[in-house]
A and B are shown apart, each in its own frame.
Chain A
Amino acid sequence: MSKEYFVAVSGQPNCGKSTMFNALTGSTARVGNYPGITVDRTEGRYCSTEFCANLVDLPGTYSLTSYSMEEVVARDVIVDEKPDVVINMLDATSLERSLYLAIQFMEIGVPVVLGLNMMDEVRKKGIRIDSHKLSELMGVPVVECVARKGVGKDELMASVKKVVDETQGKWTPVNISYGHDLDPVIDEMTAMIKKAEFMTDRYDPHWLAVKYLEEDEIVMKNGSKAGPLAAQLVKKVAEVSAHIQKTLNTYPEAVLADYRYGFINSILKQGVISREDNLRFDFSDKIDLVLTHKFLGPLIMFSVMYAMFYITFNIGAIPQGWVENGFGWLSDTIAAILPDGLLKSMLVSGVIDGVGAVMGFTPLILIMFAMLVFLEDLGYMARVSYMVDRVFRMFGLHGMSIMPFIMSGGLPGGCAVPGVMTCRTLRSPKERIATILTAPFMICGAKTTAYLMLVGAFYPENATTVMFFLVLLSWLLALCVGRLLRWTALRGESTPFVMELPPYRIPTLHGIAIHTWDRVWQYIKKAGTVILAISVLMWALMTFPQLPNDRIATYDTQRTQIIHESESWVGTNQEKQIKLDKALSQISYNQGEAALKNSYAGQLSDAISPVTNIAGFPWQANIAFIGAFAAKEVFVSTMSTAYSLGDEDPDNALSLSEKIAADKAWTTPVIWSVFVFLMVYVPCMVTVAVIIRETNWKWGLFSVFGSLGFGFGLSVIIYQVGTLLC
């Protein structure tokens, strides 16, 4: 076991590349991120009796241009990390397109092994592929595979070993002919590059010349820093480009692509494929006739989403209950062990309750992601975005944006945390960020509780209608803000919708398990770090400063007094006891309210009241809003504390509703001002943490302050205009 091989596994999306990667690496696969971006980097090991190899799974790409993050990453790994071999998995059912990526690897010069995947499907279709002939013509090993069954994995690695033994680390770039218009120019540029040693430490000169002709943004940007030759190359390209546009009415880039496909075709036509399968209808097309049907399609789509939603929040509620019970037990145990005091209060209210509330979502996220990964691997998600793209495009979003909205509470009761994480399926940065920023407007489970309490208080007659209206409002706001963002901060062309509708394929359990667990684990790590810190901070804000001793003494005096008085009350002992308990708890509630008003959170509420008065928020709502940043559930519990009910059980909100309904401060404009603010004002801290994870600090802050400003603006308008009208 002398040498550790370094092997990159690549392929176009949906070619079964990751399935093969999982088959090769088994349980050794672990997922990280490429530094600074959210593209997953999966690594694993393969060992045979003869050698061991470290494998890295490159992101699925159709090509190696610098169009998307995935392509750049795939290319950089090849160029910078110099793998010994690239295993290029191909979907043998669409061989022509699949070879396009392979050709580009060969142009860079990295040794390639081709894995012809899905050979079982190919045979079923009655197509014959001569893999020996293909191997001969391409000059690289070709291995027939069925990744789902693990067929061909050891042959692939045997080929890897053979290639490494033969090449000894030497790269030989393949130069294909680009025709009489471009070839002379490429030769000329290659010579110039060689002579000036222009970036030759990193790239092959010929490849570099081709990239200049393709006007590859990243190569050109690096080039302009590398030396004066860059300007000459750019000039050269401009000349050729002008010539080609005049004579052929096209672009060098298009000519390059045409010749690559021409090269592929010339190989395939030499008896590699026995029968063309071009336009044959297959099984997937038949399913699509139903699933993307004009009427049935949307109907099925909504049913599937409703089912996912239902399963997540009903079945998921069971394990969620276990997790919550577990934390409840932990909190009770610690409360019983430790003496009363700050340490206990911090551990119980700050640490355990805070982290517990977040961890309670873990089962939901696990279930939701498992289903999403399933639907995505199955090929259904591509259909959904295909169907809704037209509508979402009007709002500057992409068809793929629908899933995050649904998950975040587009059907009330979702959660923005998995919703935002779902945005990973969106490949274009601008539309993705616009979706990430607006998805938290949806009515998540926590907001649902708060709305049920408020709507129950103010509109007991029309609760359902008002709730329905609120849901519509959240969609409307999210879509409109999406449109607004795409006109302003996230201005730019909409991303092309040129995408593949992959054939329906039942995903492997192993693949689903790996993908799901990876995301869930990242969520758990977050809960253990950032969220722990913030929840301790929130606890401190609502606890300190404590009431001064003399004020505590006042309440103690009241208690002694009432106990003393109770002796002279009339009635049976039992009646007296009930009356006494009620009086005592009233005092405790008063004390709680006083403590809350006295705390930093309370003082903060007082301090900001001149501002929030413009929007008409009652002080109780003020403080509840501050607390609800930690988790929206806190809105209800803080309101109940603030209304001196003490009963912090959100399920028992009826009496709270009555109390609020009786409060004269809540006029109709105030109610709607609070409704809208609660919907929009900031995502909860868990969501913010996830937004930062999925984008960066800048967008996290923008999400907090942008939605705060937007929500406040709306509330002010509603309150001020509403008050004028009423």
Chain B
Amino acid sequence: MGEAAVFFLHGLAYAGLLFLVSSGLTLVFGMMNVLNFAHASFYMLGAYFAYSILHYTGNFWLALLISPIILLFIGAFVERYLLRKVHVHGHVHELLLTFGLAYIIQEAVKLLWGTTPQAMPLTGLLADTVNFFGVVYPVYRLFIFCLSALLGLGMALLLFKTRIGIIVRAAVDDNPMVDALGINVPLVFMGVFAVGAALSGFAGVAAGPLLSVFPGMAGAILVDAFVVIVMGGMGSLGGAVLASFIIGELQSFGVLLFPDFSLALIYMLMALVLVLKPEGLFGEKQ
């Protein structure tokens, strides 16, 4: 019983991490119809920036604050000076551009920080364990889960309950009309992309102490995040929540129950969902 609870919590922590990554991905896709291949690379950059900040200041909270802000600016820059330029050529070129960007970031990270995995040691409260219904459990994993729940909730409130959210959603539905109303639509899209990048930065900082920081970390999570947004339904936040939970738990219990097939299990489940419902769990029919 105790062991199952630990694995459930492990799954929950990974689900939180996956949601942090895939929420930004799904936000950018849902709002701008751009599949950002560099999203996981932003996540990796977030982790490496956090690693450096932690290395020089010793303060994790500072890393958690500053690293996403740096990513916010990187995201804004990428949208303004690269993505916008190829928009006229259509979605494939937008996608290919982010693809090339991922290629570059991958190499740049190796060049700047080396190829050996780096640990991000935690101190204080975050390094502690708690007694959680009779199970001794590290605080940090619970923290990741809470952080992702909080950010997810905040994002939903922002999108569906505020004026900013109304403008963003309207800009997606009827771009010329919103433009005619005097709202700077390109700025809105730049903002959406930047926020997506910042979210991936948060995910990267959160992942650092858990998985350590290494150049392969982008590739490792990219496919999982793609599975999440396909399974949940492209562009659906609710779908991303559910699919993150399923994939997170499947990863965790898969390792416990079928150590040889845990990797394949996820793809098989995805294929099953696809056969039954091609548009994903919460997706809209094409």
Asked if chains A and B come from one complex, the reply is: no
